[in-house]
Structure 1
Amino acid sequence: MYEVKNCIDAGSEYCPCHLAKTGECIICSQLSGKSFCDCKNWKGTCILQEYHRNGNKPKSQRRTYNGTVIEKVYEDSGILKLKIKSSISLIKGLKRLGSFVFLRSESSQEFYDCPISILKVDEEEEAIVVAIEIRGIKTKTIEGINEKEDILIRGPFWNGIFGVKKLSELSNDKVIVMGRGIGIAPLIPVLKDLLRRNNKVFLILDSGEFKKDIFDGELSFFQGERGHIKVFDNGELSKELNECLLDLINTQGYSHIHISGPDILAYNVTKEYKNSLTLSCSNNAKMCCGEGVCGSCSSRYSGHIVKRLCKVQCEPNNLFEGRRLI
């Protein structure tokens, strides 16, 4: 199946980026080593021309903003919610579906940057709310920041969802939204956006190792149907989940599913239901720079194809097909 390549930053104020300088632009054929013009996905502006206009160099990339932690709450033994006040220009840039930022303490070096999805944007307070699962050295360092102390925020970044184009076009449709564990946090903006466009949503939640009601406060606005279902059984989709999905698809006419959880969940749902539903899912790639340079997010596919998943916008079908696991 032919795959139309897309870049989340193409045509934005951050394009052309550092990949153009090294001949690895995702969209522009001439800035990726070819001698003719063959844009893979026209974005309304010529990236090559923008590169020349900018003195044959990349445009300025995301900046690091100062922020202040105005609220710090522990919701579970491993979940921390932070409300962070920062620049209104940054806050407005985080209203897009799939938005995320890199966070670190003022005393840490840049390689401590930790990518975190946005749970809520509050323009009135000029603040964002994030939920962090405390796991390793980066998140533990962020945990050490107290209320009224400063925090560094780099952004805005937008590639937190694969299949975001289809997701953002859904209107007056029937959509299944599924979240597991910490993945429930970034599905909340998705849920609000779908309801705003008059979609009927069935919500499937699996709190995983956390307590069942961990995000009930943030989900209080949702009055539609929901089911608390254990989605895994010995590494495979559970019988209860399959029965629920088959009923929603075949009996009730649901046509799209958004999955916010681990890759193994998105992979299994994609494998089983790609012919019955259109799909979108969360981006779980490991990231460090977010600009396609460090290689942390790179995945290799058959045919010597490398996708920098911090920038490349994939459909879930193409995200897993032909992917090398070793």
Structure 2
Amino acid sequence: MREIVECIDSGTEFCPCKLAEAGECIICSQLQGGCFCDCLNWKGVCIYHEYINNGSKAKEGRKTYGCLVKETEIFEKDLILIKFEVPHKLAIDLSKAGSFIFIRPNEDNIYFDVPISIMEANIDTNVVAIMIEVRGIKTKNLLDIKSGDKITIRGPYWNGVFGLNNLSVQKDNNVLVLARGIGMAPMIPLIRKLYQSNNDISLILDTSPYKDYYVKDYLKNYNVNLMQELLLDKGDLSDEAKVKIKAIINEKDIKYIHLSGADILTVKLIEFLNELDRKDIKLSCCNNIKMCCGEGICGSCTARFSGHRVKRFCKVQIDPRKVFEGRRFI
């Protein structure tokens, strides 16, 4: 049975992209070198037709913007908040769940680009907020940014969440969100989306390794049933978390769960749901794949699966269960 594949950029202003020029289009069979039209996922637009009409070349890619920093705040030594002003259209594009950008200090060295998920994009003020966990050379460079400085960003990108199709169909349902650590930041646009669709939201938040949850001002805007609990213990779901998750699933008849944290949280939750025989519960999760270019070209985001399949996870939109099923780690 052929796996249904979806490209996050298919049908957008950025399609066809450089992959089409190289004969590596994720969707179009003819731009993969095939003789027949046999696209993997019809999005209402013929990618091959767009490619030919554009002079047999890729569309213009994402733009780079110089943005004014409006506010910065250091919560802990390795956790910072940056708010900056963007053009109005970019603010609208970044308001979608799963949006992210590449950001660096206002310099020409593109090697300092780092992908960061959007925490909030206010389309009234055109101010975007991101929360950054300082881990290496690229993010350390952002510690020196102050209000009034300029930063350089590239975007918009939209594949920061796997399982967006599962998210989009949630309406008038009881849903559960599990978030841990820096995952508290990218969960905010997703919670907003669930709230706007009249879902009853239960949130289990594990602040580890931080002392507090620094998104409380954002959560006030949504009707969220917040519970704080240790989610991971010695590389597995904690016993307390298992009890609470099982109870919420049964009491509220949960049909959808979003995971905002490291991959291990997603893997262990999938294993736990399998133990409960609840494979029917739809999932979405953070895209934690390492990225460098964001366009599927550099190969940093690729993962290999059984059957010699390679997936470019900066563009491929997929169900979370399929991210880890059949994946080769060697």
Aligning the two structures, in what range does the TM-score lie when normalised by the shorter sequence? over 0.9
Deviation at 1:166, TM superposition (A): 1.4
Q: Does 1:294 align with 2:298?
A: yes
Alignment correspondent of 1:317:
321
Q: Structure 2 counterpart of 1:158, which letter?
A: W
Q: In 1, are the aligned partners of 2:175 and 2:255 still within 8 Å (CA)?
A: yes
Q: C-alpha offsets along residues 66-124 of structure 1, whole Å, 9 cap, x if unaligned?
A: 10111011112211000101211211111111001110112241121111111111222
Q: Distance in 2 between matches of 1:60 and 1:273?
A: 43
* Partner secondary structure for residue 154 of structure 2: strand
What pairs up with 1:111-260 in 2 under 5 angstroms?
Answer: 111-260=111-260
Distance 1:148 1:313, change over 3 A: same
The answer to whether the 8 Å contact 2:98/2:161 transfers is yes
Q: TM-score, normalised by structure 1?
A: 0.97
Kept in 2, the 8 Å contact 1:178–1:260? The answer is yes
Q: CA deviation at 1:252?
A: 2.2
How many residues are paired up? Answer: 326
Letter of the structure 2 residue corresponding to residue 132 of structure 1: I
Give 2:244's aligned amino acid: C
AA in 1 matched with 2:171: S
Structure 2 CA distance, aligned partners of 1:272 and 1:323? 19
Q: In structure 1, what residue type is equivalent to 2:272? A: E
Q: Deviations over 1:233-291 (max 9, x none)?
A: 21011111111111122232111100000001111112221514110001011111100
CA drift at 1:144? 1.9
Identify if the C-alpha distance between structure 1 residues 238 and 325 changes in structure 2 by more than 3 Å, giving closer, same or farther. Answer: same
User: Counterpart of 1:84?
Assistant: 84
CA distance in 2, matches of 1:257, 1:200: 12
- The answer to whether the 8 A contact 1:3-1:318 is kept is no
Q: Is the 8 A contact 1:255 1:278 kept in 2?
A: yes
Return the alpha-carbon distance in structure 1 between the equivalents of residues 187 and 206 of structure 2.
Answer: 13
Give the AA of the match of 1:167: L
Alpha-carbon contact 2:184-2:213 (below 8 Å) kept:
no
CA drift of 1:315 comes to 0.3
Aligned to 1:62: 62
Structure 1, 67-76 or 139-148: larger mean CA deviation: 139-148
- 1:46-74 alpha-carbon deviations (Å, 9 max, x no partner): 10011011111110010001101110111
Q: Deviation of residue 218 (structure 1)?
A: 2.1
Gapped runs of 5+ residues in structure 2? none
Paired position in structure 1 for 2:307: 303
Per the alignment, residue 37 of structure 1 pairs with: 37
- Return the alpha-carbon distance in structure 1 between the equivalents of residues 199 and 77 of structure 2: 35
Q: What is the match of residue 107 of structure 2?
A: 107
Residue type matched to 2:87 in 1?
S
Root-mean-square deviation (CA, aligned residues, Å) is 1.2
Gaps of 5+ in 1: none
Q: Identity rate of aligned residues, in percent?
A: 44
Contact persistence 1:203–1:225 (CA under 8 A): yes
Give the conservation status (yes or no) of the 8 Å contact 2:176–2:203: yes
Match of 1:101, as an amino acid?
Answer: I
Partner of 1:242, secondary structure, is helix
Question: Hey, what does 1:16 align to over in structure 2?
Answer: 16
> Contact (CA 8 Å) 1:76, 1:214: kept in 2 or not?
no
Check the 8 A contact 1:65/1:154 in 2, yes or no.
yes
